[in-house]
Amino acid sequence: MKPWFHFAWLAAVIAAVLWPRYGLLARWRQGRALAARARREDVLKHILKCEASGRVPRLDNIAGTLGITTGQAVDLLEDLEKQGMVSYEGGRLRLKGPGREVALHIVRAHRLWESYLADQTGVDEAEWHQRADRQEHLLTPQQTERLAAQLGNPTRDPHGDVIPPAHGDLPPEEGLPLHAVPADTPAVITHIEDEPAAVYAQICAQGLRSGMRVFVIERSDQRVRFWADGNEHVLAPVLANNIAVAPLPEVKASELAEEEFLAGLKPGQKARVIGLSAACRGPERRRLLDLGFVRGTEVEVEMTSPAGDPTAYRVRGSVVALRREQAGLIRITTARGAA
């Protein structure tokens, strides 16, 4: 093999590693810098959420939220203090102007990106938070505002959280924890906390969403049993604590218990669609409407799979297969003559 070939091969390897902007070393350094910036921004976001909810930000909570040691958390806070992002006033950790601005942008970018995933893509709900956690550190303020305009400037994300304005503040979280609501008190889910991820995944697995109407049937130290959009659910209190609700004084629990949903329709039965649950949104809502599940449409069960899910429904002369979770978002009435 000729010597020039060895020199060419060696030069190519060196260039691949040491190229100023696109080499492996440069990319490694960029990755480390981004990870460090993301950790600082996560600290600021945590402090902002604490301030909004009236909680005192503590070192152990910061370390636990970021999955780092308390020593690393101390180093991050010292760095942020040097940058003029945070301060200790009266022995309490607080955001300063520049830190508040960064934290507000991160929260806004996160919730807008979750709204984008919910309304514009088919990404599974369980992945929204994790993907938004990454994207929030990549969006510039200008890109965030373009995204907001593209989405129609939504005021709440799919979990029910307020999307703060670009120049404002983060309002306090509203609502009562589900386990604190008295039995037989109708309410609507206003917020589902998406952290920690393991708890959120268990709530998602139950098919619970912001916008569902609920009432507690029974509660104890071991469990909370409640009704939500046509189905009975049971959660441990620690899980129910991550669901916030607002009372519905104009609605009776008996009215919610008598609501009918397509998932409860039996083979051979017919019904008419009343509408879609408020919890149904984005591509899923558009698809159901396009398939003909609009108010007044007659629908009947055509057949059920051997496993019981999905179920085929006849609607407007076509047969449509829906999973039980999807059918549970379609309000119906089996009363004759209903429209």
Q: 44-88 pLDDT, tens per residue?
A: 999 998 888 888 888 888 888 888 888 888 898 999 999 999 998
**322 has pLDDT over 60:** yes
Residue pair 115/154 in contact by the 8 Å Cβ criterion: yes
pLDDT for the residue 315: 92
Q: Model confidence over 148-200: pLDDT tens digits?
A: 999 999 998 888 888 999 888 888 877 889 988 899 999 999 888 877 778 88
CA distances from 83 to 33, 77, 139, 238, 281 (A): 16, 10, 21, 38, 42
pLDDT for the residue 235: 92
pLDDT for the residue 4: 59
Which residue ranges does the chain devote to CATH 1.10.10.10? 19-164
- Looking at 3.10.580.10, 2.30.30.90, 3.30.70.1230, 1.20.120.80, the CATH number of the domain 260-333 comes to 2.30.30.90
Bridge partner list, 93: 88
CA dist., res. 242 & res. 248, Å (int): 19
**40 has pLDDT over 70:** yes
The model carries a pTM of 0.73
CA distances from 13 to 1, 20, 29 (A): 18, 14, 18
The pair of three-digit structure tokens given for residue 233, joined into one six-digit string: 């659910």
pLDDT for the residue 338: 45
Name, in order, each residue with C-beta under 8 angstroms of 113's C-beta and a sequence gap of 6 or more.
131, 132, 135, 136, 139, 147
Which residue ranges does the chain devote to CATH 2.30.30.90? 176-257, 260-333
**337 has pLDDT over 50:** no
The answer to whether domain 176-257 has CATH 2.30.30.90 is yes
Average pLDDT over residues 260-286: 86
CATH code linked to domain 19-164? 1.10.10.10
**242 has pLDDT over 80:** yes
Average pLDDT value over all residues in the chain: 85
Q: Model confidence over 195-219: pLDDT tens digits?
A: 777 888 888 888 888 888 999 999 8
Runs of H (alpha helix) within the chain:
3-18, 24-53, 59-66, 70-82, 97-120, 128-135, 141-150, 197-205, 237-240, 253-257, 282-290, 324-327
Average pLDDT over residues 19-35: 60
Higher per-residue confidence, 62 vs 122: 62
**16 has pLDDT over 80:** no
Instruction: Check whether the bond before 310 is cis (ω within 30° of 0).
Output: yes
